[in-house]
Amino acid sequence: MKVADLYIRVSTEEQADKGYSQRDQEERLRKYCEINLISVRKVIYEDHSAKNFKRPAWLYYLKELRRCKNQSDLVLFTKWDRFSRNAGDAYQMISTLRKHGVEPQAIEQPLDITIPENKMMLAFYLAAPEVENDRRALNTFHGMRRAKKEGRWMATAPIGYINKTSENGKKYIAIKEPEASIIRWAFKELSNGVYAIDQVRKMTNKKGLKCSRNSFNKLVKNPVYCGKIIIPKYRDEEAYMVQGQHEAIISDYLFHQVQDVIKKRKSLNPVKILVNEKYPLRGFLLCKCGQPLTGSASKGKLKHYNYYHSYANRCSCNFRINSEKAEKIVLQELNMYSKSLPPLKLYKKILTQVYKIKNIRRTQKIDHLKSLLKIANDKMRKARELLLTDTIDANDFRVIKSECADEIFKIESELSVFQEDNINLSSLLEKAYNCLSMLDILYLRSDIIVKRKLISSLFPQKLTIISGKIRTPKINEALALTTMINKHLQEHKKGEKSNKIDFSPMVTAKGFKPPTLRAEI
C-alpha cells in the first residue's frame, strides 16, 4: 500500500473570493486516498501565498523529508495551483521531491510526469495560475498608480499622519499630533542650516518622535509632508509629482529650503550639539594662541571640577579655566550689552521703514514670479502643440515637460511664500527688544541648545578669555547698531550736544552749488 502526505494550502484572499476551505480540500483528498487504497501518513496545513516556496509549513516538511527518507511515496494536493503558482519554482521543487523519493500529484488534474508529453500539460496547469497572479498584480499596480495620480497616498501612513476611512468608505491620511508639530519643528530647524540631520533627529527623539536614523533621513526628503505625491517612472512616463488630497504639514518653500540645505547648495556653519550639558561654551572659546578649547572634568577630593582647557597635542599653553568662572565672564559680557540698550524708538522706526520698502519689493517679486510662471506654462503649451503637429518627437516632449514641470513647481512654491499674509512687525520687534534687554537672564534660564544658539548668534567669531576678561569680541551687527545709538547718537546727560559727528561736513547753504574737492598736486 502506498503512503501519502496531504498538502492543503489556502490563502485568506482565495478563501474569501473563491470559497476554498481547508476542510473541503482535506475531505476530497481523504476520499481519493480511500478509493485508491492509499494510506495517509500526515496532513500539512498551509496558509500562505504560492508565489514561491518560502512557506513555513512547506519548509518544515522539506526539512523532515531530508531527515527521514522513504517515509512516504506521494504528496497529494487538489490542484496544481495549490502546489505552486510559479512554473520555474515548481519544476525545481518537483525535482527536489523526486530526489527524496516523493512524487507530487494533483488529484483533480492527474498527470503521469514520467511521460514526456505530459510535461506540456503540466506547464499549462502551472502557467495558468501564474498568469492569473501576474494579471491581478498588474491590475492592482495600475489601480494604485491611477489613485496616486489623483493625489491619494497608497500605503501605510508616514510618520506624522494616520490612516483613516471617510464616511463613503474612501481611505485617506490625516495629520496626527503631536508628531506633526515635531516634524514641522524639525524642518524649520534644518532650514536654518545650523544643525546636521542626525542632530535634529536626536532633538526630535527627546521631544517624543521615535524615529531611526534611516527613517528620519527618508522623512526629511519625502515631499508628502508638503502635500505632494511622487508618481514614479514607469516605461515611457517620466517621474513627476502631483498635488495630494491630504493636508500638508509644511509649506512647499520650507521643503525646498531643507532640500537645498541637504544638498549643500548654501554655505553652512553647523554648530554641534554637545551631549554633556556641563560645557555649553565648548566650541566657542579659543586659547590665547588661537587654538580651540575643549572641556573635561578634573577629580578633586570631594567632587569633580569642570574646566575648559587647551588640547595637549595642539598647543603648549596649558591654558585652562573653571567652567563656572568662564560662564560668569560671559554673563558679565552679556549684561554689559543688555544695560547699554536704548529704548530703541529710533531703531524700531528705521526697521519699520525698511520693512515697508521690502514690502514694495515683495510685490514686485510676486509680479516677476507670475511672469516667469506664465512663460513656463506657455513653453509647456507650445511643446504640446509641436508634439501634436509632429514637429518634435515624444522623447523631446518628455524632456521639455519634465524641465517645465520642475520649474513650475519651484516658482509656485516660492510664490506661495511671498503671497502669505504680512507678519506683525511691531510684536516681533517688541519681543526681540525684551530678549535683548535681558540677555544674561535669558542665558541663565535656557537649556544648552538655546544657550549655544544665543552665543553663536550674538558673537559670530570665537571668544578669547585673557586675564579674566573677554578680549573685545565682534558682536552681532544688529546688536552693534543698537549700542551705537546709545554711544554716538544720544545727547550728553547735561543736555549738551556732541561736537563730534560721523556725518560729512561738506554742506553748503541752500541755493549754492556743492563744493568740488580738487586733487592735490
My answer on whether 248 and 372 are in the same domain is no
Query: Which pLDDT score, from 0 to 100, does residue 185 have?
Result: 92
pLDDT at 302 over 70: yes
Least confident range from 14-18, 137-141, 157-161: namely 14-18
Strands 463-466, 285-286: parallel, antiparallel or unpaired by DSSP? parallel
My answer on whether 204 and 254 are in the same domain is yes
My answer on whether 457 and 416 are in the same domain is no
- How many domains, in total, are found in the chain? 4
Mean pLDDT to the nearest integer, 131-137: 79
Mean pLDDT to the nearest integer, 273-295: 75
Query: Which pLDDT score, from 0 to 100, does residue 55 have?
Result: 86
More confident residue, 180 or 340: 180
How far, in Å, CA of 50 to CA of 84, rounded?
Answer: 5
Most confident option among 81-90, 129-138, 154-163, 499-508: 154-163
More confident residue, 476 or 408: 408
CA distances (Å), origin 378, targets 108, 366, 368, 521: 65, 18, 15, 62
How far, in Å, CA of 245 to CA of 226, rounded?
Answer: 11
Mean pLDDT to the nearest integer, 393-410: 81
My answer on whether 330 and 466 are in the same domain is yes
Mean pLDDT to the nearest integer, 367-387: 86
Query: Which pLDDT score, from 0 to 100, does residue 181 have?
Result: 92
pLDDT at 339 over 70: no
More confident residue, 396 or 175: 175
Mean pLDDT to the nearest integer, 221-249: 85
Least confident range from 167-171, 230-234, 478-482: namely 478-482
The band of 519, judged by pLDDT with boundaries at 50, 70 and 90, is: very low
Query: Which pLDDT score, from 0 to 100, does residue 46 have?
Result: 85
My answer on whether 179 and 258 are in the same domain is yes
My answer on whether 320 and 450 are in the same domain is yes
Most confident option among 258-267, 380-389, 449-458, 462-471: 380-389
Q: Of the candidates 90, 120, 136, which is a domain's last residue?
A: 136
Domain assignment present for residue 141? The answer is no
pLDDT one-digit tens code per residue, 416-447: 766 555 566 667 777 777 777 777 788 877 87
My answer on whether 298 and 406 are in the same domain is no
> For the residues of 13-75, what is the DSSP string, one character each?
HHHHHH---HHHHHHHHHHHHHHTT-EEEEEEEE-S-SSSS--HHHHHHHHHHHHSTTS-SEE
Domain assignment present for residue 409? The answer is yes
My answer on whether 318 and 443 are in the same domain is yes
Length of the chain in terms of residues written: 521
pLDDT at 230 over 80: yes
Query: Which pLDDT score, from 0 to 100, does residue 425 have?
Result: 67
The model's pTM: 0.48
pLDDT one-digit tens code per residue, 6-55: 988 887 655 544 545 778 888 888 888 988 888 888 898 888 777 788 88
Most confident option among 35-39, 166-170, 344-348: 35-39
Mean pLDDT to the nearest integer, 96-111: 86
CA angle 59, 63, 65 (to 5 degrees): 115
Secondary structure, 3-state, 246-269: CCCCCCHHHHHHHHHHHCCCCCCC
Query: Which pLDDT score, from 0 to 100, does residue 417 have?
Result: 66
pLDDT at 316 over 60: yes
pLDDT at 393 over 50: yes
Domain assignment present for residue 149? The answer is no
Long-range contacts of 421-429 (CB under 8 A, 24+ apart): 422/359, 425/351, 425/352, 425/355, 426/348, 426/352, 429/344, 429/348, 429/351, 429/352
pLDDT at 273 over 50: no
Q: For the stretch 37-51, what's the b/e string if a residue is b when 16 or more beta carbons lie within 10 angstroms of its beta carbon?
A: ebebeeebebebebb
How far, in Å, CA of 202 to CA of 150, rounded?
Answer: 36
Domain range enclosing 393: 361-421
Q: Which residue has the cell 488529484?
A: 107
Q: Of the candidates 103, 136, 169, which is a domain's last residue?
A: 136
My answer on whether 252 and 316 are in the same domain is no
Domain assignment present for residue 89? The answer is yes
Query: Which pLDDT score, from 0 to 100, does residue 419 have?
Result: 57
Domain assignment present for residue 510? The answer is no
Say if CB 429 and CB 345 are below 8 A apart.
Answer: no
Whether omega before 178 lies within 30 degrees of 0, making that bond cis, reads: yes
Rounded to 10 deg, the angle between the 345-388 and 425-436 helix axes is 130
pLDDT one-digit tens code per residue, 109-124: 888 777 877 778 887 7
My answer on whether 178 and 233 are in the same domain is yes
pLDDT at 107 over 50: yes
The band of 297, judged by pLDDT with boundaries at 50, 70 and 90, is: confident
pLDDT at 179 over 80: yes
More confident residue, 138 or 355: 138
Residue 290: exposure state from Cβ atoms within 10 A (0-12, 13-18, ≥19): exposed
pLDDT one-digit tens code per residue, 474-501: 777 767 766 665 555 544 444 454 444 4
The band of 341, judged by pLDDT with boundaries at 50, 70 and 90, is: low
Q: Is 12 helix (H, G, I), strand (E, B) or coil?
A: helix
pLDDT above 90 covers a percentage of the chain that reads 3
Say if CB 106 and CB 74 are below 8 A apart.
Answer: no
Domain assignment present for residue 197? The answer is yes
Q: Is 515 helix (H, G, I), strand (E, B) or coil?
A: coil
CA distances (Å), origin 50, targets 11, 77, 89, 120, 337: 9, 13, 10, 21, 75
Query: Which element (helix H / strand E) includes 396?
Result: helix 394-418
Query: Which pLDDT score, from 0 to 100, does residue 503 have?
Result: 43
My answer on whether 201 and 173 are in the same domain is yes
The grid cell for 382 is 507650445
Q: Can you give the CATH number for the domain in which 174 is found?
A: 3.90.1750.20
Q: Can you give the CATH number for the domain in which 40 is found?
A: 3.40.50.1390
Domain assignment present for residue 81? The answer is yes
DSSP 113: T
Domain assignment present for residue 407? The answer is yes
Query: Which pLDDT score, from 0 to 100, does residue 182 have?
Result: 92
pLDDT at 267 over 50: no
Diameter of the chain measured on Cα atoms: 130
My answer on whether 235 and 122 are in the same domain is no
pLDDT one-digit tens code per residue, 180-219: 999 999 998 888 877 788 888 888 998 888 888 889 989 9
Most confident option among 58-62, 283-287, 326-330, 349-353: 58-62
Summary mean pLDDT of the chain: 78
